[in-house]
């Protein structure tokens, strides 16, 4: 379980940093504010085992402390080597084609996982009435169709990658997927916009429990989505 003191310290530092920059969105939009290097993983808001039985404790621990931690470490190396002036990760991803594959893979890897952890919570949360539900109903003609479409994006992503719910450049809610650690913020991505919910379909996210059964992982994952967080992300992307 992440240490709560370091969590408080991180939050406090983030708030101060955001206030100093005059940003009001710093609380949730962690990656949108320029931040002092090095990039850091935010502590998980729940224990490794808290998402069981949908995601097992060992998968969460290895995923967070090994896979995601390595993206963060390698991102910091790439930034130190290639990026001259301090800027937000979002800004960097928006011109990622100018940088190395190392920066693209690890910058995406860090951003995507930070979003992923926050968009999950222990099972029990339902999509409540509110702006997100309205937006989903309008864009996809109901929650069931939305779930089917996001699941299809996750299932048809061949190999490793992510399925996304994102706000496109015309402020429309969209569903799509990207390979590897790419995401819709990248200038190199064929789908463009601001991700508000991401689903990791790399085998490292589910293989210990589900082996080849990606469909079962995807289906179960919907019951641990933190819809309140997704709604916050929507309102930040489309005020």
Contact call for residues 231 and 132 (beta carbons, < 8 A): yes
Q: Is 229 in the site for Mn ion (CB under 5 A)?
A: no
Q: Is 202 in the site for Mn ion (CB under 5 A)?
A: yes
How buried is residue 89: exposed, middle or buried, by Cβ count under 10 Å (0-12/13-18/19+)? buried
- Cα separation, 208 vs 203, in Å, equals 9
76 C-beta neighbours (distance < 10 Å), count: 16
From the list 123-131, 157-165, 166-174, 200-208, the region that binds Mn ion by CB under 5 A is 200-208
CB of 3 to Mn ion, least distance (A): 22
Contact call for residues 41 and 68 (beta carbons, < 8 A): yes
CB of 196 to Mn ion, least distance (A): 18
Nearer CB in complex with Mn ion: 47/62: 62
- Cα separation, 135 vs 235, in Å, equals 11
From the list 78-86, 132-140, 167-175, 203-211, the region that binds Mn ion by CB under 5 A is 203-211
CB of 109 to Mn ion, least distance (A): 7
Structure tokens at 75: 């991102």
52 C-beta neighbours (distance < 10 Å), count: 16
Q: Among 26, 31, 39, which residue's Cα sits nearest to residue 68? A: 39
Tell me which of 182, 200, 229, 231 binds Mn ion, using CB under 5 A. Answer: 200
Nearer CB in complex with Mn ion: 205/218: 205
Nearer CB in complex with Mn ion: 191/205: 205
Nearer CB in complex with Mn ion: 182/200: 200
For Mn ion, the nearest residue by Cβ is 200
Going through the chain in order, the beta strands assigned E by DSSP cover 161-168, 173-179, 193-200
CB of 42 to Mn ion, least distance (A): 15
From the list 19-27, 38-46, 185-193, 204-212, the region that binds Mn ion by CB under 5 A is 204-212
CB of 88 to Mn ion, least distance (A): 22
Residues 116-155 that bind Mn ion (CB under 5 A): none
114 C-beta neighbours (distance < 10 Å), count: 21
Structure tokens at 6: 């370091």
CB of 23 to Mn ion, least distance (A): 28
Binding site for Mn ion (CB under 5 A): 200, 202, 205
């Amino acid at each position: 379980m992440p240490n709560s003191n370091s969590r408080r310290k991180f939050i406090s530092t983030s708030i101060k940093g955001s206030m100093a920059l005059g940003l009001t969105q710093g609380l949730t939009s962690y990656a949108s504010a320029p931040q002092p290097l090095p990039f850091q993983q935010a502590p998980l808001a729940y224990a490794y085992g808290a998402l069981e039985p949908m995601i097992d404790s060992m998968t969460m621990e290895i995923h967070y402390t090994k896979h995601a931690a390595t993206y963060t470490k390698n991102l910091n190396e790439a930034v130190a080597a290639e990026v001259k002036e301090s800027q937000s990760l979002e800004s960097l991803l928006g011109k990622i084609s100018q940088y190395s594959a190392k920066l693209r893979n690890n910058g995406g890897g860090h951003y995507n996982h930070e979003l992923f952890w926050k968009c999950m919570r222990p099972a029990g949360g339902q999509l409540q009435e509110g702006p997100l539900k309205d937006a989903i109903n309008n864009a996809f003609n109901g929650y069931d169709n939305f779930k089917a479409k996001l699941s299809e994006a996750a299932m048809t992503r061949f190999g490793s990658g992510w399925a996304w719910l994102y706000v496109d450049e015309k402020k429309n809610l969209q569903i799509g997927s990207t390979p590897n650690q790419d995401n819709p913020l990248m200038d190199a991505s064929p789908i463009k916009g601001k991700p508000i919910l991401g689903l990791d379909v790399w085998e490292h996210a589910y293989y210990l429990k589900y082996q080849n059964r990606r469909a079962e992982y995807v289906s179960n994952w919907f019951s641990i989505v933190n819809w309140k967080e997704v709604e916050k992300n929507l309102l930040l992307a489309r005020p």
